[in-house]
Amino acid sequence: MYAITTNSKAEPILPSFSNSVLLELFQAKPVENFSTGRAVFWEGDPAKDVFEVTRGILRLYRILPDGRRAIVGFVFAGEMMGLSFQDRYLFTAEAVGEVSVHRISRRMFHAAVDSSPHLRPELLSHLRDEMCAAQDQMLLVLRNSADERLASFLLLIARKTSGEPERGTEIQLAMARADIADYLGMSIETVSRSISRLKWQGIIALDGPSRLTIQRVRALRELAGEVERFGDEDIPHLAATMGRQPVQLAR
Amino acid sequence: MYAITTNSKAEPILPSFSNSVLLELFQAKPVENFSTGRAVFWEGDPAKDVFEVTRGILRLYRILPDGRRAIVGFVFAGEMMGLSFQDRYLFTAEAVGEVSVHRISRRMFHAAVDSSPHLRPELLSHLRDEMCAAQDQMLLVLRNSADERLASFLLLIARKTSGEPERGTEIQLAMARADIADYLGMSIETVSRSISRLKWQGIIALDGPSRLTIQRVRALRELAGEVERFGDEDIPHLAATMGRQPVQLAR
DNA sequence: CGAGAATTTGAAACCCATCAATGACGGTGG
DNA sequence: CCACCGTCATTGATGGGTTTCAAATTCTCG
């Protein structure tokens, strides 16, 4: 998921989720639509089905014993979900906007996979990718600076939607600040402050709360720990104003 | 791994790692020994083999871009390792003491699994358990109090070695404070301070740095978030001194 | 028993969570 | 069309938990 750590090469591993032949299993199934905030399934429900998301984004979360919500991942269009369950869903899946999915029963899914020597290694491969992503997410949260986590998150979203980001790449944040906060393990206010800091440093620009533009890719990737901090090829002359609080707020 | 969160029932899921028929695949293989600090394989190496640990403990870690070490897990005797790799090892595996393993090539392992309808679902099941454990570990680290993380960790170790802990259960900490710190995402000093706090509160007792005894199981489980904090059946009369710094240090 | 390593403890600084207030936006109804 | 309200995002101030630097103490092992 975060190319930095898990994959030897710095290529996004997500496409492997999407190009899967496994996805073909879903195509015969009818489309189901979920409107904003609706749950596809709940944590603890019997894990009867597996899904493919064809439109929109799903947020996966669990409620901790103390009542807080922890988002364990997002599922984007073109990705499958539910392959890694035993007999019960481990988390709730909720639509972050309008979402469409194909649904297939776990029994049928596994029957199909079992009977096909082609599909079997693919399922394994998929599970391993998921494993890999979960581990990366863990390491991301461990790396403690809020700004670093946010940088990684922005790169993640950018890659999911528009491939490898360059200067000028626009990012559409479909989820609210609260979602980002619960995903990155920090408070809403800290997410907001981190975004503001990136803005003051000229790394990103905002066109409204949920729409932003990457301006200094290299700096963003350095923050995310993807590259060594050395050359600063983009907009080095802004450095003078970077270190401290803004003299004046944009927008 | 942490029964609290992932499993509906509060039974340890680890035994499922151990009782696996998959383990029989390893028995024909010779034993390899690794002494303290030796690596079984390195992060980034081609993932040629899978392993069963028959004695000792392995620590699995990755080095973050900034040079810090993150321990992603420990492998105990009776557990398998390496099933969730694609083509390269995602982390380094290092002996925490004297360790013995069986080694089998991934190719042979998969050939065996592929040809046996019995083994296939077991591999899947195992991968899902690993997935599950990784997610729990993530949530554990997110839940921020240092004492809570340490409580969960102690319960984990206790269960790995002597089943469900009761009052008086002894825990042998095979790994150093630095290992615990890198596993729980905190500093050595904070680990030490957390242990001291649990000691002041009479929840555990120390017989040397690496040997401790659980004295108030319920309180420990409450800290770990496994049970609601309500009754305090063990040693309730100590409560008066619990809240603040020690008036005098024990030991 | 002694030396080096590991652990524990102390003090200060920092980062982030929390509480609180303000500002921006979107929708509804007058 | 605009005022109003609720939600979401931003910003400020404060406090607490952890990290960091530093030193003392304990443990381990030859």
A119's tokens: 């599909």
B158 pLDDT tier (thresholds 50, 70, 90): very high
The CB density around residue B59, as the number of other CB atoms within 10 Å, is 24
**pLDDT at position A143 over 90:** no
Residue–nucleotide distance: B200 CA to C4 C1' (Å): 29
Which residue of B lies nearest to A63 if distances are taken between CA atoms? Answer: B5
* Separation between Cα atoms, residue A196 and residue A188, nearest integer Å: 12
pLDDT class for A228, splitting at 50, 70, 90? confident
What residues have CB less than 8 Å from A232, skipping those under 6 apart?
A218, A219, A239
Entry pTM: 0.86
- CA of residue B40 to C1' of nucleotide D25, angstroms: 35
What's the average model confidence in pLDDT over B216-236?
A: 78
The partner residue sitting opposite B141, judged by closest CB among A4, A129, A142, is: A142
Taking the CA of residue B173 and the C1' sugar atom of nucleotide D25, their distance in angstroms comes to 21
With beta carbons under 8 A apart, name residues in chain A contacting B114: 120
Task: Report the pLDDT value the prediction gives residue A53, as an integer from 0 to 100.
Answer: 97
pLDDT single digits (tens) A64-119:
988 899 999 999 999 999 999 989 999 999 999 999 999 999 999 999 998 898 99
pLDDT at A230: 63
How confident is the prediction for chain B on average, in pLDDT? 86
Q: For residue B98, say whether its CB is under 7 Å from any atom of strand D.
A: no
Closest residue to D7 (CA, C1′): A176
Confidence of residue A6 (pLDDT cuts 50, 70, 90): very low
Report pLDDT digits (tens) over B77-132: 999 999 999 899 999 999 999 999 999 999 999 999 988 989 999 999 999 999 98
Among residues of chain B, what percentage have pLDDT more than 70?
A: 84
Chain A residues with beta carbon closer than 8 angstroms to that of B119: none
DSSP assignment of A157-204 equals HHHHHHSS--TT-EEE--S-HHHHHHHHTS-HHHHHHHHHHHHHTTSE
Q: How far is the CA of A119 from the C1' of D21 (A)?
A: 56
pLDDT at A245: 34
Separation CA A57–CA A148 (nearest Å) = 23
Which of A129, A135, A141 has the CB atom closest to B72's CB atom?
A135
The pLDDT confidence band at residue A251, using thresholds 50, 70 and 90, is very low
Identify the band that residue A19 occupies on the pLDDT scale cut at 50, 70 and 90. low
Stretch B183-198: mean pLDDT: 97
Which residue in B has a C-alpha nearest to residue A13's C-alpha?
B86
Give the ranges where chain B is alpha helix by DSSP (H).
Answer: 15-18, 106-115, 119-142, 146-162, 177-184, 188-200, 217-223
A23-59 tens-digit pLDDT: 989 999 999 999 999 999 999 999 999 999 999 999 9
Mean pLDDT, chain A, as a whole number? 86
DSSP element (H, E) containing A74: strand A69-75
Residues of chain A in contact with residue B134, where contact means CB-CB under 8 angstroms, are: 131, 134-135, 138
Residues 6+ apart with CB under 8 A from B210: B172, B173, B174
Site of tokens 């019960």: A88
Residue numbers 142-161 of B with CB closer than 7 A to any atom of strand D: 144-147
Q: Give strand D nucleotides closer than 7 A to any protein Cβ.
A: 8-13, 17-22, 27-28
The pLDDT of residue B99 is 97
Confidence of residue A220 (pLDDT cuts 50, 70, 90): very high
A66·B123 Cβ contact <8 A: no
Does the distance separating the beta carbons of A132 and B135 come in below 8 Å? no
Residue A11 clears pLDDT 50, i.e. is over it: no
> Taking 60 as the threshold, does the pLDDT of residue B52 lie above it?
yes
Query: How sure is the predictor about A231, in pLDDT bands with cuts at 50, 70 and 90?
Result: low
CA distance A18 to chain B (A): 17
User: Which positions in chain B touch A129 (Cβ < 8 Å)?
Assistant: 86
Q: What is the pLDDT of residues A90-100, one digit of tens each?
A: 999 999 999 99
**Angstrom distance (rounded) from CA A3 to CA A56:** 23
| Residue in chain A lying closest to B67 (CA) | A225
DSSP per-residue codes, B200-225: HTTSEEESSTTEEEES-HHHHHHHTT
Closest Cβ–Cβ partner in A64, A72, A86 for B135 = A72
Asked if A141 and A188 count as a contact pair (C-beta separation under 8 A), the reply is no
The whole-number pLDDT of residue B228 equals: 79
Whole-number pLDDT of residue A20? 77
